[in-house]
Chains A and B, each alone.
Chain A
Amino acid sequence: MSFYGLVDGSEKSLVQFLDQLSGVDQVGAESRAAMLATRSIKTTSKKWAIETAISMVDLTTLEGADTPGKVRALCSKAVRPDPTDPTVPSVGAICVYNDMVEIARTHLDSIGGKHVPVAAVSTAFPSGRASMEVKIQDTQDAISAGAAEIDMVIDRGAFLAGKYGLVFDEIVKIRDVCGEKAHLKVIFETGELVTYDNVRKASYLAMLAGADFIKTSTGKVAPAATPPVVLVMLEAVRDFYTLTQRRIGVKPAGGIRTTKDAIKQLVLVNETAGPEWLTPQLFRIGASALLNDLLMQRMKMSDGYYASPNYVTID
């Protein structure tokens, strides 16, 4: 088998490919990300950035305490984030646990939200500690319930132990299960990968195995989507495009709570991967609290005075 003509899927070829990647200049990546974070985005650009960010939000609820009612409320918010203003775009997707997929899909369809896809976190999210059979079953379950996007976690233990082949095979198998029916996002949990070098290796590993998106974190581990980590991943998708002519998406998740954070991410995308990536098809932000802050900033811009959380819905 050949993957983009770069590796043949064997452990040996993977190690060979990943080892020839250059290491990440840690100081350089951090200072570049910090420098880009100082960009000031104002007025019309800010309005555009806020609306673009809203359309990129994967509105997420991944709690043990989730109820069908909460998921339905979140779906309504996803379609019309600001009920008082129809010009606010719908969010990128709804992201829920497997058993909530059907509830979300049905509710979205019934309220005119057919255009909002449902993403499911599968493969024994968030730890990924289950047998391969269970992970495959989990994914099939989500797809048959109507999930159009699968967020899978990699086996971090295997990755850190250097068992790249194992991680690669898992992604390939889940990719096969998704087939044409669902997009595949691969979650690295960068907080557990420790180094930027590992983030870069994991990015290539996932892209070679057929990921449509690479995603930083589950949101359950801190640190999560820090700007330098996202920068390293954006560089990876950019370089992968040069190698293969295929654009892979990036999804930072976890820790992005304010409009300022979100706009920093958009600047990173524009300056690293390029403006082609500034679309919900190629960039998503996994978040829950962020949407309210985006809406409040938007209100501030249109009303001319500071908004209050009392006037946006509590998730």
Chain B
Amino acid sequence: MATKKQARVDVKKTYKLFINGAFPRSESGRVFEVTAKNGAFIANPALASRKDLRDAVTAARAAQTGWSKATAYNRGQILYRIAEMLEGRAEQFESEIALTSQITALKAQSQVLDAIDRWVWYAGWSDKLQAVSGATNPVAGPFFNFSISEPQGVVAIASSVSFIDFIDAIAAAVVSGNTTVVLVPGSLAVPAMSFAEVLATSDLPAGVINILTGSLDELAPWAASHMDIDGFDITGIDKKKRGALKEAGAENLKRIHAFSKGQSPTKILAFMESKTVWHSVGV
């Protein structure tokens, strides 16, 4: 007796957060809906709360020493490994971006490839930064005087909704040795969480990149006032709302920047500090 093949039931992905190398649900249990251009349901990503942010900052802080003390060569290797993983899943990112944003499949394809190239470009900077930004300074005395750029610490990123900007902001922050908490708005949650799966399989130490999906309006003020966040990239925040965040960030002299599009080493240096060392000559 011939049996008709039954229609297969899809296995849907449960979208969660990426904190400390693990994929927890939001502490609040909340989710929000992402739909396609035509209004069809796509996914229910987690709607992160301020307590998820708190946990992510704790994880990022704990990971900070190890990541910043890793050799530049090692950091570059790990970042390059992430590019390898991205390349292998390029088609998945293309279809997710085309599905959830307003751009065409062709544009999505070129954006993903550009994003991978962008990531590799930043990865290459890891062992070149000191040569470019460090200096031996001339001083009027019997001293050697060096300036060395060091990572700031924990950097929060309020990402804009485009995938390549999301990739750009993270790469620029982590290549120097910062650890990050990335706040992802709206439909970017879908490719962002796939990116988290890439991170989870790339030998990246837990806590270096933490990704929270949800509402920037809800999370950004908590990130701005958090005393244990040292820098805040607010590129994804509406211009009118930036002032309030800068005010809240003043309490711990947080560096708050918004960047224009495109790759640039200034984005890396924006979240680095210059340390100057004096050393007497002949000792």
Residues of chain A at the chain B interface (Cβ within 8 Å)? 304-311
Contacts and interface: CB of A to CB of B under 8 A. Distances in A.
Contacts of B222: 305-306
Decide if the interface of chain B is mainly helix, strand, loop or mixed.
helix
Given A308-B228, A308-B252, A311-B227, 18 more contacts: A304-B225, A305-B222, A305-B225, A305-B226, A305-B227, A305-B248, A305-B251, A306-B54, A306-B57, A306-B222, A306-B225, A306-B226, A306-B227, A308-B226, A308-B227, A310-B227, A310-B228, A310-B252
Contacts of A309: 61, 228
Contacts of A308: 226-228, 252
A307 B228 contact: yes
Contacts, number: 26
Nearest to B50: A306
Q: Give the dominant DSSP class at A's interface.
A: loop
13 contacts: A304-B225, A305-B222, A305-B226, A305-B227, A307-B227, A307-B228, A308-B227, A308-B228, A308-B252, A309-B61, A309-B228, A310-B228, A310-B252
A305 B50 CA distance: 10
- In this complex, the member of B54, B226, B251 whose beta carbon has the largest number of chain A beta carbons within 10 angstroms is B226
A307 B225 CA distance: 9
A182 B251 CA distance: 47
A64 B236 CA distance: 50
Interface in B168-224: 222
Contacts of A311: 227
Nearest to B57: A306
Contacts of B226: 305-306, 308
Interface string B225-257: 111100000000000000000001001100000
A11 B89 CA distance: 71
A290 to B, nearest CB: 15
B253 to A, nearest CB: 11
Interface in B47-75: 54, 57, 61
Contacts of B248: 305
Contacts of B227: 305-308, 310-311
A304 B251 CA distance: 12
Contacts of B228: 306-310
Contacts of A305: 222, 225-227, 248, 251
B183 to A, nearest CB: 15
A311 B253 CA distance: 13
B192 to A, nearest CB: 23
A307 B228 CA distance: 6
A188 B128 CA distance: 56
Interface in B12-56: 54
